[in-house]
Every structure is written in C-alpha cells, then in structure tokens.
Chain A
Amino acid sequence: MKIVVCLKQVPDTEANIKIGSDQKSVVEAGMKFIINPFDEFAIEEALKKREAGTAESITVVAMGPERTRDALRSSLELEVNEALHLVTEDDCIDGLAVAKVLAEQIKSMDYGLILMGKEAIDDGNMQVGPMLGELLGIPCISLATRIDIEGDKVTVKRNTDSGVEILESPLPCIITCEKGLNEPRYPSIRGKMKAKKMEIPQQNISLGTAGVEKISMTYPEARSGGRVIGEGPDAVAELVRVLKEEAQVI
C-alpha cells in the first residue's frame, strides 16, 4: 500500500504577522516558514507505517508558492520516498478550491491511505481533509490520535468533544491527524545528505474560481492594559470582589 501525505508550509508559530499595504497580504520578508505542525504528525505516522511494513512508500504532495520547496525538502530529509510540488502563487483561502486541485492530482495516483494534518495553522480552515474525501468518494476520518492498519482495514481512535470513538474504515481512506498521534522525529544526517540529491518535481496548477474573496485584514483590538491586584494570598479577597462586582464573571 502507498501513502500520500498532503502538506502545507505555514509561518512559524512565533512569527509576527504583518499585514501588507494592500490590506490583504502578509509581509513575508524575514518571516520563517515551517511544515504545518499537524502535517508533521501525518509524515511521522506514514514513516511508522512504512517501518512496520504496512506501507511500501510515501509520497508527499504540497501546494503553494516557490518557498514551499523548503518544506518538501524537509520532508525528504525525513526520508519519505518522493515529493511533489504543485506550484501556485495564489494565496488560496478557499478550502474547496484547494481540495479540488488536490483531488484532481491524487485521483490518478496509486494510494491506499491519504494522511494530512487536521488543519493548517495559518488559515485555520480545517476543511481540506473532509472535502477531499467527499471529492474522491472515499471515507475521511478526522482528528485521529491512533491509527492501526490491518489488511485492508484501518481502525482509528479519536477524541470527540463528547467522548472517545473507535472507528473502522476500509482502505483507501483519508485520515486527518491530531496532536497526540505520535512524536515527530528529527531528520538524521543520512536523511539530510540523501535529500540534497533528490529532485522535487514541480507542476504548475491553477485554482478554479474561488468563491471566497479576501476583502481586508485587520489586527484584533489590543486588550486594554491589565491590572495587578496585588501580591500573594492577601490579594485574593480583592480579586474575588473584582471578579464579582466589576467583571461580573462569577
């Protein structure tokens, strides 16, 4: 069985986000980019399945501008088998438009399992996985914290907001990965050396008409300056009074 991992490159979690003069774009100069943290769980899980012999190969697919190559290179350093770059300079915030591009690409590939993060931390859309399942006509199980493959069946554990579910699905299917699934590894020296020599094929793509149009971006209102009530247990009575009478939250 072959695994396809979908990956997105995103600004580092520490990055300061500066809105460009057009009010729509983000100033990228000097910004550090990383593999979307949830996609790292997807890569790690794919590597584990290959080590366990349930998967024979891993293909990583990423859509995005030129800089996305760096994220794909990082995935090659982890020794995935191949990486494919779908190139677009379009900062696409329309989840369905992205899912359609991925579906078109993956449809003709040989895969038994598609893994990806539960969401990209830049747009926070949490849309593409389930949409892709719908478009490819295969099941999608979201937010996995455990994935066990046996033959052509996969068992997934996940935490919903009302409890814990164990779900079973035939392959092929899509699974989106949640924190807790595994601990992503660091690349080895060998992996780094190997990745240097590997090609990353690029393919230009165009996004269909997007139904979501960005009008503007603004910064959220800064919270007004806080107040230190006092020090130590002596301040507690005043804190409780303030919460009751001023803030009226308890």
Chain B
Amino acid sequence: MSNLLVVAELQQDTFRKSVFEAVCHGKKIAKALGASVHVLIPGSIDKQQAAQLGEYGADEVLVAAEEKLKLYNADLYKSVIVNTAKQLDAQVVLFSATFLGKDLAPRVTAALDMVMASDITGYSVDGGNLQVVRPMYAGKVLAKLKLSGKCVISLRPNIFGAEKINEGQQAPVKDAQLPALESKVTVKEFSAKGGDKLDVADADIIITGGRGLRSAENFAMLEKLAALLNAAVGATRAAVDSDWRPHGDQVGQTGKVVSPKLYVMVGASGSIQHWAGMSGSKCIVAINKDPNAPIIQRADYSVVGDLFEILPVLTAEIEKNR
C-alpha cells in the first residue's frame, strides 16, 4: 500500500483551519490512489486534538514535538518532513498553500526530487496519476496539469472545505522520528502579531478599503465593522502605497490572494490587479460612489453612494442584527 503525507501547521499550539481541509482532501486523493494518509505535525500539540484528525481521514498522526521546532525554521521543518516522507516512501506530500506551505513545499520537492504543483484549486486522479487545476496569470486562466511520478502539492486555502469523513474516528498518534536538525539560518527575533489581528489570508470575511478612504485614520471605520463580523481588514495597493495600511494587508496580484466567504470593497474601484487577488471570493459586495466603477459590474451586490454616509449605517445595522 502506498502512502500520502499531509503536513499540518500549528498556530499557537492548535491546528490552523486549513489543516482539516488538507487532511480531508488528502484522504480523498489517497483513496483514489489506494494510499493511506499520514499526517505530520512539526511542533507539539495535545494528543487528543491530534487524534481527532482521524475524523477528517487521517490513518495515522505523527507528532514531531521537539523544542527546536517550536519556532518556524524552514531548514529544520524541511528536514523533518523529508525524513518522514522518505520513511513512508510517500507517493504524495500535501501542504496547504499558507505562508509556511509556500515556503516549505518547494524545498521538500527539490530535496526529494519530486514534481510540484502549487496553490491548486482542483484535482482528480486518472490511472494512478494526479491531475490538478491551478490558476495561472493571476487567475485569468485555469490550467489543468498532469503530474507524473511522486509529487508535492499545495492546496489553496478556503477553496476545498473540510468535512468529517469518519465521524468519531480517532487516529493513532505516534512520535515522528527526528533526523539531525541543523540550519545555518537563525531566528533572531519573532514578534507574533497582536492576538486580535486576523490575517486576510485566514479570514472568512474581509472588509477592504481603497483610495476612497482618504486617510489612515478613516480605516478605523472598517476596523469597527470588521470587529463586529470577526473579519480582517484588507487594502488595495493605492491604500498601501499611501502608507495607510501595511503591505501585508494588500490583496491582489502583487499582494495576497484570498478566497473568503464574503469580500466587501469600500472605496475601491476593482482594478484588474486587485481582482486577481479576490475574484475567488464566494460573495463580493461593493460600496462605491461611482456607478460606473468596474467593481459595480462585477460584484454580487453593490450599494452606490458615499462610503462616509453608508458605512456608519451599515455598521449600526449589522450591530442591530447580531
């Protein structure tokens, strides 16, 4: 029987949301390939929590609870993953295309001389070979690719969804075998971002502000609405380039690619480069004073008018409806 390895990412000692999606779809791929699913967790996690991945399809969970892996270091994480993949003779190694997955997957691919497809949004198995769909040219086209041989894939987060395939099932949890852990790179400093600051890449709802916001201070209006909806605040490049928002908040072709459930654009025109980063959102709402702004044609719902009049009313209405 062949093996599929899923790499699970922790954040503050618990699973990131994308882990469940990765395990669940890892299982679906494994089933089609006749493989079993092993989940590797670099870092330490409560055993009970680890075992619960069985519900999502894990046949076995391997925990690499080692002090040196507490802080993310690409070389060390890579070594653990490569070691485990070799032991399992893994046919497929699967990541979520988060920051960490994007950083690690190519290293693992090169170390194991495998074949890689990043940021996939679809897959199928055909005669033992994996075929994947992934956006190219900033989502202007979708490419279908055939991967021959052993491969590494990363799943674009929030696209696939997670379901409990085996309700109630617990997976056996074991210690992962650790190779020698060495890296020339040292982490000098790490400052975790404020606990309440949700990253656009993780959020189910994003409220994005553009040039129409006019100042950094005015983003407080978006923060307020975002807090009510447990949403993240995003920005267009125009807002970032004006120094109103940090670069990490930029959505678009040269920013982050997001696919939340709800994407609200306030005072942003919907340029082709911005669209490239958020067109995968399930529902798009625009608030713009210009009825001819490109985003009004493309959003699912829009309200035309002055954002400074509309936002306070919207915030109050949402608060009332909670």
Q: Do A and B come from one complex?
A: yes
**Which A residues are closer than 8 A to B by beta carbons?**
11, 13-17, 19, 26, 37-38, 93-96, 99, 121-135, 139-143, 145, 155, 159-170, 173, 178-180, 211-220, 223, 225-233, 235-237, 239-240, 242-244, 247, 249-250
Mark contacts of B249-279 with chain A using CB atoms, 8 A cut-off: 1 yes-contact digit, 0 otherwise: 0100111000001100000000011001001
Chain A interface, >50% SS class: mixed
- From B113, B262, B306, B321, A232 is in contact (CB under 8 Å) with B306
Q: How far is the CB of B239 from chain A (nearest CB, A)?
A: 13
Task: Identify which of A134, A161, A226 gathers the most chain B CB atoms within 10 Å of its CB.
Answer: A161
B247 close to A139 (CB less than 8 A): no
Q: How far is the CB of B278 from chain A (nearest CB, A)?
A: 11
User: A13-B273, A122-B137, A250-B318 are contacts. A214–B190 as well, Cβ < 8 Å?
Assistant: no
Q: In the complex, what residues of A have CB within 8 A of residue B54's CB?
A: none
From A38, A99, A159, A227, contact of B254 by CB (8 A): A38
Measured between beta carbons, the chain B residues less than 8 angstroms from A215 are: 131, 144-146
A50 to B75, CA, bound (A): 29
Interface residues of B (CB under 8 A from A): 11, 72, 74-75, 78, 98-100, 102-107, 109-111, 113-119, 131, 134-149, 151, 183-193, 199, 201-202, 205, 229, 246-248, 250, 253-255, 261-262, 272-273, 276, 279, 282-286, 291, 296-306, 309-310, 313-314, 317-318, 321
Q: What's the least CB distance linking A53 to chain B, in Å?
A: 24
Q: Quick check: B140 and A13 within 8 Å, CB to CB?
A: no
**Neighbour of A139 across the interface among B117, B141, B183, CB < 8 A:** B183
Shortest Cβ gap from B307 to chain A (Å): 11
Contact of B205 among A168, A178, A249 (CB under 8 A): A249
Q: Interface on chain B toward A: helix, strand, loop, or mixed SS?
A: mixed
Q: In the bound complex, what is the Cα–Cα distance between A240 and B261 (angstroms)?
A: 15
Do A243 and B185 touch (CB < 8 A)? no
Smallest CB separation, A183 vs chain B (Å): 9
A124-B118, A130-B110, A142-B102 known, 20 other contacts, Cβ within 8 Å: A19-B141, A95-B118, A96-B109, A96-B115, A99-B110, A121-B254, A122-B136, A124-B135, A133-B107, A145-B247, A160-B72, A166-B190, A179-B254, A211-B149, A215-B146, A219-B141, A220-B140, A226-B296, A230-B304, A239-B314
CB of B248 within 8 A of CB of A159, answer yes
Kindly state the separation between the CA atoms of A14 and B145 in the bound complex, as whole angstroms. 25
* A160-B72, A247-B300 as given contacts; A95 in contact with B116, CB under 8 Å: yes
Residues of B within 8 A of A140 (CB): 74, 107
Residues of the A chain whose Cβ atoms lie less than 8 Å from the Cβ of B147: 211-213
Determine if B300 and A167 form an interchain contact, defined as CB atoms under 8 angstroms apart: no
Instruction: Please name 9 pairs of A and B residues whose Cβ atoms are closer than 8 Å in the assembled complex, sorted by A.
Output: A93-B145, A139-B183, A166-B189, A179-B255, A214-B143, A226-B286, A239-B301, A239-B314, A243-B301
Give the distance in Å from the alpha carbon of A247 to the alpha carbon of B148 in the complex.
40
Q: Which residues of A contact B98 (CB under 8 A)?
A: 161
Residues of chain A with a CB closer than 8 A to B285's CB: 239, 243
**Given A141-B185, A223-B279, A94 contacting B115 (CB threshold 8 A):** yes
State A122–B202 Cα separation when bound (angstroms).
Answer: 24
Q: A128 contacts B185, CB within 8 Å?
A: no
Contact, CB under 8 Å: A217 / B102: no
**B189 touches which of A160, A165, A169 (Cβ 8 Å):** A165
Which of B103, B138, B145 makes the CB contact (< 8 A) with A13?
A: B138
Q: Is the CB of B262 within 8 A of A249?
A: yes
With A17-B137, A140-B74, A228-B296 as contacts: A170 and B184 at CB distance below 8 Å: yes
Q: Lowest 3 CB-CB distances: which A-B pairs, in order? A: A211-B115, A134-B110, A180-B247
